[in-house]
Amino acid sequence: MQLKMTKQDLTEFLADVFDQVADDFTVEDLAPNYARIRLNVGEKHLRPGGTVSGPSMFALADCAVYMAVLAMIGPKALAVTTNASMDFMRKPAANTDLIAETRILKLGKRLAVGDVLIFSEGLDKPVAHSTMTYSIPD
């Protein structure tokens, strides 16, 4: 199955539909069933000490799977998250962007499942892992 949207398509779609968070995310790379999404870490994502907050990591994982799914099915679908699981494994590096390596594990008619590893940019070991399920409307 091939991509139905380019990086630019996705970026414009995000700006259009979720303008209040679109600046938080950058689509870095895109391939069939794959996306690499950056969280442009700013003041609002941080906890005292400069570490990225849990909800910000959740938002990144959620957005990353959403982008990867939309790239495959096109911009018209109003997909919604139905299930999320996250493991927080290490403290993110202070004041450092996060990178979400995202794979689509299943792209069915009704459900899509994606898997995300989140890294502090430049570091080897993942800070978090997430699995997200999206329900795809008819």
Identify the three-state secondary structure at position 60. helix
- CA dist 33 to 5, 27, 132, 137, Å? 12, 14, 14, 19
Q: Which stretch binds its own copies (CB under 8 A): 2-10, 34-42, 94-102, 125-133?
A: 125-133
Which among 133, 39, 44 is positioned nearest to 86, based on CA atoms? 133
Task: Indicate the residue among 7 and 129 with the shorter CB distance to its own copies.
Answer: 129
- Of 12, 26, 73, 88, the one binding its own copies (CB under 8 A) is 88
Identify the three-state secondary structure at position 28. strand
- Please give the structure tokens belonging to residue 36: 């690499």
Task: Indicate the residue among 6 and 135 with the shorter CB distance to its own copies.
Answer: 135
Q: What is the DSSP letter of 110?
A: S
Q: Is 106 in the site for its own copies (CB under 8 A)?
A: yes
Binding mask of the shown chain, residues 33 to 72, with x at each position contacting its own copies by CB under 8 A: -----------x--xx----xxxx-xx--x----------
Give me the amino acid identity at 69: V
Q: Which stretch binds its own copies (CB under 8 A): 5-13, 67-75, 94-102, 124-132?
A: 124-132
Q: Is 125 in the site for its own copies (CB under 8 A)?
A: yes
